[in-house]
Amino acid sequence: MNDIAFDIDHHIATLTLTRPHKLNAVTPDMTTRIREAAHEINTNRDIRVVVLTGSGKAFCAGSDIAELDSYPTAWEFRDRPDYCDAIRGIRKPVIAAVNGYAFGGGLEMAMSCDIRLAAGTASFAAPEIKLGWIGGGGMAAFLTHSIGPSNAALMLYTGDPITAQQALAWGLVSATHPSEDLLPAARELAGRMAERAPVAAQTGKLNLRAAYAMPLENCIQYERDLQTVSFATQDAAEGREAFKQKRPAKFTGR
């Protein structure tokens, strides 16, 4: 059974988890497919933006717990291929359309995306503590950066879910939509982003990542270097020419 759907339309790749009877909990086979899709996204020049979502009432409930005892040792569990690493390794902008439960690794997967939109009925949790362990896909780092250390501690130490409205108030998501409007809203946003210069979008993503990790002066210098790279592209020349001619720019990713 194929538990991942992947399609490309008008420069937008949509990656959908399609295991609704298990709340889209991720198996090792699904991880392989997600990693393959991430590679396709990075190497296919036609793809400019990605939308990641789930089917049914869940975005993703994390790893399939029934599969975790298949690892002979904790060390082999630690070294397993990771689906959050695959999403985080996508070089192009990624929008998470969180349609339902985003729990555990599913929350980490959503936070591995650049922008998060949520259905009003979605909920978010870091429930690993209820099972005796903690997240391992960036849970603490992402939550601390997204919602602050106190709110992150509240989620990590209780494992209890928060609503989409609370997630919006805390800054975990950028917007909420009625369930039926979520995917159209994500695709409309992706369409606007796909019209922008692809090299500028990818260098902008590198710049945002640097802002997490670098001291301020280093980050500004890195930004200036990235600006120089993007300024030298054909798309930048097209953007300047379009501005002078008062017409929309036509970017090609070169």
Q: How far apart, in Å, are the Cα atoms of 52 and each of 26, 107, 151, 229?
A: 14, 12, 25, 29
Instruction: Determine the distance from the C-alpha atom of residue 74 to the mean position of all C-alpha atoms in its chain, rounded to a whole number.
Output: 27
Catalytic residue list contains 108: yes
Residue 203: how many other CB atoms lie within 10 Å: 21
Catalytic residue list contains 128: yes
Instruction: Return d(Cα 227, Cα 209) in angstroms, integer.
Output: 15
Which candidate, 111, 86, 92, 76, places its Cα nearest to that of 11? 92
Residues 6+ apart with CB under 8 A from 87: 34, 38, 52, 94, 109, 112, 113
Q: Of residues 36, 40, 67, 108, which has the active-site annotation? A: 108
Q: Order of strands across the sheet with 115-119?
A: 4-9, 12-17, 49-54, 94-98, 115-119, 175-177
Q: Tell how strand 49-54 and strand 4-9 pair up.
A: unpaired
Q: Of residues 36, 40, 67, 128, which has the active-site annotation? A: 128
Q: Which residues are catalytic?
A: 108, 128
